[in-house]
Structure 1
């Protein structure tokens, strides 16, 4: 976001509460990997489009990628749900759907749909799950993990051992690959959503 405001030197920027330099470097590396920054650290055209969305860069990239796969309607719905309370995914509080959470998700989705027009993405629907998975992976490729021969998931980037969250619908299954929204640290490192 700071790059989109014309702040080029983030390392020497006068933050009120500066983040650790390592965190900044990791964030810049991720923006480069997403295509938001070029090799000189300047915002790309894709990066400017991503900055239009009030969400994290991975989610913004997923939305932009949905244009290529013709599934922007499904992707903004997924983004809206991820932006809300995670309780929505736990079987909608065991089938007592939270009205307030669903309304918030609808409001976020409406906002994202309006922003699609701003970045010239035509809202399209595509029920093909392969297209939807490709759009998700375009944004969250850093968050991939693979099932190894010993039955454990390892993150692709850092080879950390992670577990499927017990509340996940994938908990009983063992797909070969998993793309997750976030890692949660409790007694173990869990992939969530």
Structure 2
């Protein structure tokens, strides 16, 4: 269905599809546009994980051990892909409770995510939106997923400043990465899910993207001259 408008469709077409999902507009757009990047299966899993309580447990008496367990799931490109790693591992092990406990994973959150994902998949099927994936062996597998995320959250991109902090492109607010962020470096460009207002403003659930992807994914919003 997306193929009938691609980047050439009207906002009305896109908005109509988005309106069928019981999610915020950014997440709904991420899902609706994901077939164009051959990653709708993975995007559904990420959306489901973002729709439930945080899956990583960090009990006061075992914070260091819990942090070490979380690092086993960290993806070099960011937190959205870390959540995908957790979901894939959980499904591969059939929701094993012992595995969840050992890895400080909130099993109830994963059970909820699985349920949410099934409901979202039903909506996609009803709308005739393709459930698809890029071959895992392809060098474009994770790039396509990151483009899919960016397609929904393109207004929540940020660029690294010389100080190491980030400036949100939309409003130029200067922010830092949330302590829970799993990125081991500070990439030039990121996309984020949450803005956390505190004594120091943070962005949370952050994934690395590339500047040229901004123009590719949202040419109606970004121009080379503006970024």
* TM-score above 0.5: yes
Q: Distance in 2 between matches of 1:89 and 1:68?
A: 35
Q: CA deviation at 1:150?
A: 2.6
Choose from 184, 189, 192 the match for 2:196.
184
In structure 1, the partner of 2:122 is: 114
In structure 1, the partner of 2:21 is: 53
Q: CA deviation at 1:63?
A: 0.5
Q: CA deviation at 1:66?
A: 0.5
Distance 1:94 1:152, change over 3 A: farther
Task: Describe the SS at the equivalent of 2:195.
Answer: strand
Distance 1:81 1:93, change over 3 A: farther
Q: Give the TM-score of the pair, scaled to structure 2.
A: 0.63
In structure 1, the partner of 2:53 is: 85
Provide the alpha-carbon RMSD of the alignment. Answer: 2.3
Consecutive unaligned residues of structure 2, counting only runs of 5 or more, are 1-7, 59-69, 71-99, 206-227
Task: Describe the SS at the equivalent of 2:21.
Answer: coil
Asked whether the 8 Å contact 1:36–1:47 carries over to 2, the reply is no
Query: Over residues 10-33 of structure 1, what are the superposed CA-to-partner deviations in whole Å (9 max), with x where a residue is unaligned?
Result: xxxxxxxxxxxxxxxxxxxxxxxx
Choose from 187, 193, 197 the match for 1:175.
187
**Structure with the larger RCO, 1 or 2 (CA within 8 Å, 6+ apart):** 2
Alignment of 1:84-163 (within 5 A): 84-88=52-56, 91=70, 95-126=103-134, 127=136, 128-163=141-176
In structure 1, the partner of 2:95 is: none
In structure 2, the partner of 1:66 is: 34
Q: Give the TM-score of the pair, scaled to structure 1.
A: 0.73
Consecutive unaligned residues of structure 1, counting only runs of 5 or more, are 1-34, 39-43
